[in-house]
Amino acid sequence: MGRSTAPLHGGDLRRAAALYGPREFIDFSANINLLGPPPQVWQVLTENLQDVVHYPDPHLEGLKADLASFLKVDPSCILPGNGGAELIYLLPRLEGVRQVRIPIPTFSEYAEAAKASKVPIRYCLDLDHLQQGDMLFLCNPNNPTGKLRSKDQILQLAQQAEERGAWLVVDEAFIDFTPEGRKASVAPQVQDFERLIVLYSLTKLFAIPGLRLGCLVASPALIAASRQLQPPWSVNCLAELAGRAALGDESFRERTRKATAEEREFLYQGLLAQKGLRPYPSAANFIFVAIADPNWTGTTLTDALGRRGILVRNCANFQGLESDRHIRVAVRTRQENERLLRELADLLGGTR
């Protein structure tokens, strides 16, 4: 049997090793902070490994208080969870949800969550005409395109949802990497809109995808309803400790924004110079790239790079991108970005 080269989800190093052989990969397929975790995360984990012999805190009051302070809301507006994915799967199960609306292309788990709850899905390119019972998922900045909608645009949609009995779910997993940082977030406005829900993931900013930690931010009533759908002990003890240690480090967030901005511009210009590639401007810590060279597809380019020890995200399994003409690359360190650009130039025949 031949090897499967079906699109990989980001960060699947085990499958990459099965496809290309065990080696040290440079992983541009997962959109994780190029700085890695804050130093205090490593410290708190090594100092508290013995806590795994105890059940985690079922109430998480300390974590909720820290998240509330970070996100500028009341603790009653916070529901911690086992990463953003767990919380996404809770939302279509809320009472009254008749249809999930998803602008495309975007993160696939919104649709998977709706399917799991047997809620009809409407894929759309526009955001108008919300109806009663709709739940609109909006990733901001969007994955995989990196497009950031303004705070005013988001709040106008929130007002529309409020007036029409719909829900607006804003996934801010990558908001901290944008030039505006937390100023672009609408999390504080959940206290003004009963039907505005914000998803926040600590995975990306603090580079802890293996620990799984995120939260819902919404009205106290909606948080209470969501909690009823959540299994107990969703957040493990080490994830709680790591999250609390990381949230207080404002200087780390500033360093992240600065490093991401510098490397994003370097990588964008480098991709722009490649023959046969058209990168899109991005506000996030990744860049969406169209493949203009007719001799390559997302699948073949992803595979060729994988054979060279470099993983990128083939976007062919994103709804609306089935043409297999797009990839997504994370913003990484200068040395790693230079390596990617060299390999692309070698494969594509040089730069313009």
Number of C-beta neighbours around residue 165 at 10 A: 14
Residue 127 predicted with pLDDT over 80: no
Residue 8 has pLDDT above 70, yes or no: no
- In three-state secondary structure terms, 188 is helix
Question: For 221-238, what is each residue's pLDDT tens digit?
Answer: 999 999 999 999 999 999
Give 351's pLDDT tier (boundaries 50, 70, 90): low
The domain segmentation of the chain, as residue ranges, is 13-37+251-348, 39-248
Q: What is the mean pLDDT of residues 32-57?
A: 96
303-341 tens-digit pLDDT: 999 999 999 999 999 999 999 999 999 999 999 999 999
Question: Given a cut of 90, is residue 77 above it in pLDDT?
Answer: yes
**Cα separation, 232 vs 137, whole angstroms:** 25
- Residue pLDDT, tens place only, 265-308: 999 999 999 999 999 999 999 999 999 999 999 999 999 999 99
- Residue 307 burial (10 A CB sphere; 0-12, 13-18, 19+): exposed
- The overall average pLDDT reported for the chain is 94
Give tens-digit pLDDT for 166-181: 999 999 999 999 999 9
| pLDDT, tens digit, 9 for 90 and up, residues 253-262 | 999 999 999 9
Cα distances from 62 to residues 67, 70, 221, 261, 313, in angstroms, run: 9, 12, 20, 32, 36
The whole-number pLDDT of residue 352 equals 60
9 pLDDT band (50/70/90 cuts)? Answer: low
CATH architecture of the domain with residue range 13-37+251-348: Alpha-Beta Complex (3.90)
* In contact, 328 and 343? CB cutoff 8 Å: no
CATH number of the 39-248 domain: 3.40.640.10
Burial of 231 (0-12, 13-18, 19+ CB in 10 A): exposed
pLDDT at 231: 94
Given CA atoms 104, 217, 90, 15 in this order, what sign does their dihedral have? Answer: positive
- Tell me: pLDDT of 6 over 70: no
Greater model confidence, 257 or 22: 257
Residues 6+ apart with CB under 8 A from 125: 103, 104
Tokens of 104: 């495309």
Residue 3 has pLDDT above 80, yes or no: no
Position 10 confidence tier, pLDDT thresholds 50, 70, 90: confident
Q: Are 199 and 171 in contact (CB under 8 A)?
A: yes
Among 157, 135, 144, smallest CA distance to 108 is for: 144
